[in-house]
Structure 1
Amino acid sequence: MNENNSDKLSLPQALDLIKDREKENFCLEKVNLAELQRLTGITRAKLRHLKESSFIEKQHGLKGRKSKTTVLSGFTGVIDNLLRSNVTNSEVLFEQLCKLGYAGGMTTVKNYILAHKDLIPAKRQIVSPQGNRGRRYSTEPGHCFQMDWGFVKVRDYSGLEYQAACFAMICHHCGERYIEFFPNAKQENLFIGMIHAFSYMGVPHFVLIDNMKSVVIRRGSDGSPIWNHDYEVLMKTIGFETRLCKAYHPFTKGKVERLVQFVKGNFLLGRCFINVTDLNMKALEWCAKQNDSWHKSIDMIPQTEHDKECSKILVTLKESPEILLYLCPPRRISFDGFVTYEGRRFGIPYSYSGKIVRVCRNAHILTIYSADMSHQLATHDVTWSHRDSFCKDQYVLPDQPEEFPTAAVKTVIEQSAPELPSNAFDRFDFSKEAFDD
């Protein structure tokens, strides 16, 4: 076992010490290698090699020479393009390279990013940063969740851009997170995202949120919030409370603000998806991966802490008809028998006489129910095409009453073949002439 080298001498110092001790009898060719090893900590084999050059350390002949090909050869163009697109997250770059067959490690990617920072576009800085003067606080397990919206622009295959909304919720104690994407940030999508998040993580005592229009209408004279009626009904139905943050003070719910930034800087960077369903499936996989990894800021694994401590306090969300109504938002039927959901039109059977239906999409299947959720009217395969999706019997009239005989029918009549009308050109049809032998 090697000894601690903190109290060892360098090779010139050890040689000077031996020289002072032996004086006239000192000779480099006869120096005691065992004593020299004890003084310097250098192995005997290396000392023998140095003895051949009179204990003068020489640099290796290949020092400073670099190989023409490295483990990153063939992948530098991909990294350069991502850096020029302001994608600087090493984990995102590493995942992209692994998909292309990269066999190296993440440290090599990080070193390449540090050496090519000139490719990264300069950040636009309006004012100089003043620093964070807020104080972090913590809550008990299962006591509080934080919730917020984030927005991202999506460029489709035709080059058109539209805006999508990311619903984010995080446990304030352990950092367990949940994200889901919607075409917009309307109130019905907020309710769907909250119910899905509560099913994923549990129901806390209260939710910390900013002053959204979907949540609070205004403040009373005493400063108390006047809740949106639909949101207040949701709180009573599920059984949680809501606390509002101070206006224009994002540090109050800094965990979810940081989560939104992390989603944009990690999950969404370089992301390509087919449709919202595909994006949400990848988002769930990403959440499971992040929840099961160790986080430095909280010094724990969120999933482990959530299952161990938070789950004792959180309430499991139970399915009920009232909650199902929030997952199936109402839609009005148009004059031509369609309902619009997530920017696309789906057909309703002609036999349904109501004016309101409820729509629910589960993965790639969209189901349409009656207004009271008692009947399932139609199902559609969501192809995400902008063409209208028709259903069976959408324009078929309902069956009319028809009478049938009560006794056996015995009267029989005959029907002859219809006579063909005479045609003036029949006389020119020579195929009908009779020829004599």
Structure 2
Amino acid sequence: MEKLLCNGLDTIVSQALNEMKAEQGDDFRLETVNLAELQRRTGISRSKLRRLKKNKFISTEHGHKLKKAKKTILSGYMAELDYLLMHGIKNSSVCMQRLQKSGYAGGLTTIKQYIAQHKALLPAKRQQIASQGNRGRRFVTGPGEVYQMDWGFTDVSTNYSEDLRVACFVMICHHCGQRYIEFFSNAKQENLFIGMIHAFSYMGIPMYILTDNMKSVVIKRDCNGRPIWQKDYEVFMKTIGFQTKLCKPRHPFTKGKVERLVRFVKENFLVSRLFWNVTDLNRYALEWCNEQNAAYHTATDCIPERIHYASCVQNARILQETPSVQFYLCPERRISFDGFVNYENRRFGVPFSYNGTTARVKREDDVLYIYSADLQRLLTTHNVTWSKGDRFCADQYVAVQPEELPTTPIKSKITLISESSPDLSFEKFNFDKEDDDNE
């Protein structure tokens, strides 16, 4: 009998042939093997077994193996994917989200294979220093007990001569990972208060806030190491009703969750982001927060939104819209001698009739509201743009003058007639008028 040949690709066929040979004995022949029985034993289709039988059951490689198609499902999107790789974006999920917005209909595996084959496009990694070993121990807090907050910064490319820099306020729940981000034109203390109030409205008020030694939070420490709070921040803590814990200086691992969130925002949300103004950017940021909070995260082994509303919100307090909170949402501005207030490095006009020296400003979506100093009267509104030019309000320089009104009933009456047009010296040469008169 002819020796059974198999190159290892169809081991199951070789085993089935050996079993059939043991059962049939000397009557077994490869040329007359029963393909129906072999199909029952191996589960391979009859056409493939017939092809193997012609080759004496030796599997041969496909003729198109290692050949690449000229056009694949990724064709047309390679340039955009190369752009992401050259800017250090190697997260396949982020790349897929960007390509899907351009119309990509393929799967994630195709993108992973492309990234693995084009790692040379990625920028060189920075040199890693030797590990310094374990510096501390991770700590766990209860639901709604501690939030971490921090600032992050990014540059914005514009069509103008110079680029801009915006600040990103980030806050995350230490227990479940619920997150909130918001962008501002700078990282001043008034924007810190606005960001914290918006985050508390979104997540609730915890017992403690964990942060680093910001200038807008703490001035210094006394001889015993206790913090000396910045006076406005201390009043803000008492007004909202929470306490603050400071991290050890030059030790970012203490609040590693928010430090990692800042990095995640830069590597995920800000990648090739296009927007019109800061309001448009914050609208995208809120949508991104809702998506991330509703997704499963391996680090916390949960969906943050579910855990937060099931346990953390039960222990956190709800922010009340009190007048004192509204004062923090509307920072005070001094009115210049020419009737303007400065907000986010832009000047907005105030009506001349307002006789106060200060006003309060609040931005909501694409509208800027200017109130009186006591928030009792809305003075005017402006549309928010990136333009550096001054924005005038209606009747900005029209003064309200005193006017006398009648004290007794009016009995006299006069008549107003329409003014006649004067005759010009050339009117006598108007021949059309003569024809009209003859008729």
| Normalised-by-shorter TM-score class | 0.7 to 0.9
- Once the two structures are superposed, what CA deviation does each residue of 1:392-427 show, in whole Å capped at 9, x if it has no partner? 22111222242647365669899xx9xx9xxxxx9x
Partner of 1:239: 241
Aligned residue identity for 2:202 = Y
> 1:328 Cα shift?
0.3
Given the alignment, which residue of 275, 283, 286 partners 2:285?
A: 283
Structure-2 change in CA distance of 1:94 and 1:410 (3 Å): closer
TM alignment of 1:16-415, pairs within 5 A: 16=18, 19=21, 24-31=26-33, 41-43=42-44, 45=46, 46-125=48-127, 127-128=129-130, 130=132, 133-402=135-404, 404=406, 406=408, 408=410
- Once the two structures are superposed, what CA deviation does each residue of 1:360-407 show, in whole Å capped at 9, x if it has no partner? 011111111111112111111223322111112211122224264736
Counterpart-to-counterpart distance in 1, 2:426 and 2:151: 85
Counterpart-to-counterpart distance in 1, 2:194 and 2:130: 40
CA RMSD of aligned residues (A): 2.9
> 1:239 Cα shift?
1.0
Contact 1:87 1:270 in 2 (8 A): no
Structure 1: gaps (5+ residues)? 1-7, 421-425
- Once the two structures are superposed, what CA deviation does each residue of 1:31-87 show, in whole Å capped at 9, x if it has no partner? 56688678x744363545433432222222222222110001111122222322333
Contact 1:294 1:302 in 2 (8 A): yes
Counterpart-to-counterpart distance in 1, 2:153 and 2:72: 39
Contact 1:34 1:44 in 2 (8 A): no
What secondary structure is seen at the aligned counterpart in 1 of 2:387?
coil
What secondary structure is seen at the aligned counterpart in 2 of 1:366?
strand
Aligned identity (percent) is 56
Contact 1:273 1:279 in 2 (8 A): yes
- Once the two structures are superposed, what CA deviation does each residue of 1:248-290 show, in whole Å capped at 9, x if it has no partner? 1111111111100000000001001100000000000000000
What secondary structure is seen at the aligned counterpart in 2 of 1:211?
coil
What secondary structure is seen at the aligned counterpart in 1 of 2:31?
helix
Structure-2 change in CA distance of 1:58 and 1:247 (3 Å): same
Counterpart-to-counterpart distance in 2, 1:48 and 1:69: 33
Contact 1:165 1:182 in 2 (8 A): yes
Structure-2 change in CA distance of 1:281 and 1:112 (3 Å): same
> 1:291 Cα shift?
0.5
Structure-2 change in CA distance of 1:406 and 1:42 (3 Å): closer
Contact 2:362 2:369 in 1 (8 A): yes
What secondary structure is seen at the aligned counterpart in 2 of 1:29?
coil
> 1:238 Cα shift?
1.1
The more displaced of 353-362 and 98-107 is 98-107
The more displaced of 56-65 and 204-213 is 56-65
Contact 2:16 2:42 in 1 (8 A): no
TM-score between both structures, scaled by the size of structure 2: 0.86
Aligned residue identity for 2:167 = A
Structure-2 change in CA distance of 1:430 and 1:403 (3 Å): closer
Counterpart-to-counterpart distance in 2, 1:412 and 1:284: 66
Structure-2 change in CA distance of 1:430 and 1:337 (3 Å): closer
> 1:233 Cα shift?
1.1
Counterpart-to-counterpart distance in 2, 1:212 and 1:44: 71
What secondary structure is seen at the aligned counterpart in 2 of 1:386?
coil
> 1:19 Cα shift?
4.8
